[in-house]
Chains A and B, each alone.
Chain A
Amino acid sequence: MVDDALGELDEIIARHANREGPLLPILHDVQAEHGFISEEAKRHIAKALNLTRADVHGVVSFYHDFKAEKADRPVLKLCRAEACKARGVEALVANAEAIAAGRVTIETVYCLGLCSQGPNAMVGASVHARLDGPRLSALIEGLA
């Protein structure tokens, strides 16, 4: 990791230094800025917070939001929990995967809190409800 990136990391750490339990807020910021949490970042954060690298690795690997590798394509989070299943999301999955193939990653999530109007999906911070085959396809095409 180059010095620039380390400096940026120090800035993030400093931003949260006076909070109680600062690890998750720091990891969220690193994830948001870099798209993943590298081995170097883990080591550096561990040192700054007086934790072991294993402690930090344990936390990073526990939570679905923190990624070990940078996503190489856009991500669409598709809800496949009970309420969306009851509204037919499973019937959309195969076609969506086929359209997305190699261009968009379709990630399964469980619940976006829009449960009466599913099937639902989320891209970044934008939410989409009442998806059917054509609407989901259009959403994927828009990302690809």
Chain B
Amino acid sequence: MLEISKLVKRYGRDKPVLKELDLTVEGSSVVSIVGASGAGKSTMLRCINRLVEPTSGSIKLNGTELVRLKGRELRRTRRKIGMVFQGFNLIDRLTVMENVLAGRLGYVNLFQAITRRYPQSDIERAFQLMERVGIAHYANKRADELSGGERQRVGVVRALMQEPEILLADEPTASLDPRTSEQIMKLLHSLAHELSLPVLINIHNVAQAKAYTERIVGLRHGRMIFDGAPAGFGKEALDAIYGGIETAEEEITAEPGRSTQGVAHDST
């Protein structure tokens, strides 16, 4: 169970990006977080695994307070939080298998990590998961030889290798073409149920959010302004979240345009 309460994040002296945000995620549900660019979605996700330091507030994962953790304690907790990134964040020059096994870095010792001598159980788990998402035959290929959708699958498997208690996905489909992004959303949805894992997905595409998640949370200017089932997410909620923001239409509908931009950016 993830409990976020009164979470505040401000960068320097600017206006806070997150304003006393409260959110509770129970059981194995897929929650999508929608909102315009700059609404604080990404910051919120990164506060959970402390890639971003929260300014104040409390985040509890299965009873453990995350905000005050430091050093080894923090790393031990991060192992339990898998993360999937918009730009995949793979290590391009390493093989797919090495990228996948990197998900175990929090568990193995430094010698095992450097020599790539991972325990047999890790390797078997890696093959199982890779087979599940259909990339097992790429094990010894270099990560940068794969297509965008395949790369994101590697990203997902890497996160699952951590045996996470929660999975965070930061715009996992924004760098992909529409068809591939549907596949990735489907994959995240079914994995969440197979592994009974709570999943938090930041997403721009409202249609996909409605189709593949059980709960939608709408953010605007660092505050939660919608929380409910996809069925209840109608025109009003959409206006409340995106209304008055000029690029809103484009962001919701023109997904292909965005995706080409994302891929081009990624390839540089």
A binds B: no
Interface residue ranges, A against B (CB under 8 Å): none
Interface residue ranges, B against A (CB under 8 Å): none
